[in-house]
Amino acid sequence: MTRIDDIATRLDEAAFSARAMAQIDPDGKLPLADAYEIQRRSVARRLARGERPVGIKMGFTSRAKMIQMGVDDVIWGRLTSGMQVDDGGTLDLSRFIHPRVEPELAFVLKRPLSGHVSPAQALAAVEAVAPALEIIDSRYQDFKFSLSDVIADNASSSGFVVGPWADPRTDLANLGMVMSFDGVDQELGSSAALLGHPLRALAAAARVAEEAGEPLPAGAIVMAGAATSAQWLRPGIHVQLEVERLGRVGFHVGA
- Which does residue 131 touch among ligand 0L1, Mg ion, none (CB within 5 to 8 A, set by kind)? none
- Residue 147: left if φ>0, alpha if ψ -120 to 50, beta else—which one? alpha
- The Cα–Cα gap between 16 and 123 comes to 35
Taking alpha carbons only, the member of 39, 12, 28, 23 closest to residue 147 is: 28
DSSP E strands in 81-218: the ranges are 90-91, 100-109, 126-136, 157-162, 176-181, 184-190
- The Cα–Cα gap between 139 and 118 comes to 34
Closer to ligand 0L1 by CB, 39 or 114: give it. Answer: 39
Site membership for Mg ion, residue 187 (CB under 5 A): no
- Shortest Cβ 76–ligand 0L1 spacing (Å): 9
Q: Is 60 within 8 Å of 134 (Cβ atoms)? A: no
Residues at the site binding ligand 0L1, with contacts judged by CB under 6 A:
57, 59-60, 134, 136, 138, 150, 155-156, 225-226
- Shortest Cβ 29–Mg ion spacing (Å): 25
Q: Is 52 within 8 Å of 205 (Cβ atoms)? A: no
Closer to ligand 0L1 by CB, 76 or 181: give it. Answer: 76
Q: Tell me which stretch binds Mg ion (CB under 5 A): 166-174, 176-184, 188-196, 224-232.
A: 224-232
- Shortest Cβ 82–ligand 0L1 spacing (Å): 18
Of 12, 25, 37, 134, which one interacts with Mg ion (CB under 5 A)?
Answer: 134
- Which does residue 220 touch among ligand 0L1, Mg ion, none (CB within 5 to 8 A, set by kind)? none
- The Cα–Cα gap between 89 and 135 comes to 13
Closer to ligand 0L1 by CB, 58 or 113: give it. Answer: 58
Residues that bind Mg ion (CB under 5 A): 134, 226
